[in-house]
Amino acid sequence: MLTKRDVNLTLISSQSVHNKNLMKIFTDLEVLSIPTKTNFRGINHREIVIFQGSAGWSEFSPFLEYSDFECRSWLRASLEGAFTSWENLSKKRILINATLPKIDPIKVPDFLKNFPGVKVIKIKVDSFESDADLVEAALDYIPDAKIRLDVNGGWDLKNALLNLHDFHLRFGPVFEYIEQPVSDVSDLKKLKEEVPMKIAIDESIRKNLDSDMTQLKECADFAILKWQPVGGKASAKELAEKIGLPVVISSALESGIGLSHGLALASESKVNLACGLGTANLLEEDIVKEPLQIENGEIEVIPRTPDEKIIAKYRATEERRSWWLSRMNRVLESGGFDEYIN
């Protein structure tokens, strides 16, 4: 079993962490494994790291398959969250969308009851054939809902045209946008010219953070920004300005700790569209003392703190803790975190 002394020795030997506050974070952080209510993104447990800095609690939770390089923006966001106070909040409450995973359409009413007052529903889809009934079930429950389809870049241009034609033919103008229908930027531009729905981009942003963002305005109508994947609030606001499209702040299946930072980002960015920040409902249980209660389709913007009893319930094994500490240490050693490690 790792002791606090073992952790300190590991970090000191790396010669990358000299900041005493950061050392304390690594020593005291919690690694959690929280079951999900349904299979989401192919996972049934969400592993996260939470820790407290001078500005409050923060979260580091890149998905397990992500490379160390991909984790850099996530760690930058989490350190920013721990050491940088919220400021210039323009709203006390943020409008959210419901996020509907791939479930039996019969279960849709019970699932959407978790989102009282919500009028926008985001649905993960693979194809018209497999998921049209899911869209219909959502509209049966909330007839005046706007629908967002999320494809995660899963179609090529031909399949995108075929599927979107069928969705539009069956449901008409209910779609607010289609999120990342294809991955290729040139195909996105062609698709935008061919289909009657609006296009939103997610992966095209967060997987190309160092590329020219100004061109994205030609291939999309909305930009999806996520607090951790894009590198934190400061980075997100800079990206939004460069892209020049209406922004939706969404989550990466974080706990209430990470979601609170997403809510603060939405407030500071003066976002007016419904945001994808109600995803704590996808976890078996959230870990915070101050629940992300949805009222009239909105969630309050406040800092949140972990509930010690819930933390004890979902604390990961020492083996997983060691894995996450090693991962964070490697990412820190890759450089670019001078303001936090010196």
Q: pLDDT for 169-226, tens place per residue?
A: 999 999 999 999 999 989 999 999 999 999 999 988 887 777 777 788 889 999 999 9
16 pLDDT more than 70: no
226 is catalytic: yes
Whole-number pLDDT of residue 14? 47
Which CATH topology does 4-85+309-341 take? Enolase-like; domain 1 (3.30.390)
Whole-number pLDDT of residue 270? 84
Q: Which CATH class is domain 93-307?
A: alpha beta
Nearest in space to 220 (alpha carbons), one of 244, 250, 252: 244
Residues of the chain with CATH 3.30.390.10: 4-85+309-341
Whole-number pLDDT of residue 6? 52
Average pLDDT over residues 65-80: 96
- Among 226, 270, 289, 309, the active-site one is 226
- Distance between CA atoms of residues 258 and 77, nearest Å: 10
341 pLDDT more than 70: no
Beta carbons of 290 and 277 less than 8 angstroms apart: no
124 is catalytic: yes
- Among 37, 124, 198, 289, the active-site one is 124
Whole-number pLDDT of residue 204? 85
Q: pLDDT exceeding 70 applies to what percent of the chain?
A: 93
Whole-number pLDDT of residue 18? 53
Q: What is this structure's pTM?
A: 0.92
Residues of the chain with CATH 3.20.20.120: 93-307
Q: What are the Cα distances from residue 213, in Å, to 79, 225, 226, 251, 252?
A: 25, 13, 16, 21, 21
2 pLDDT more than 50: no
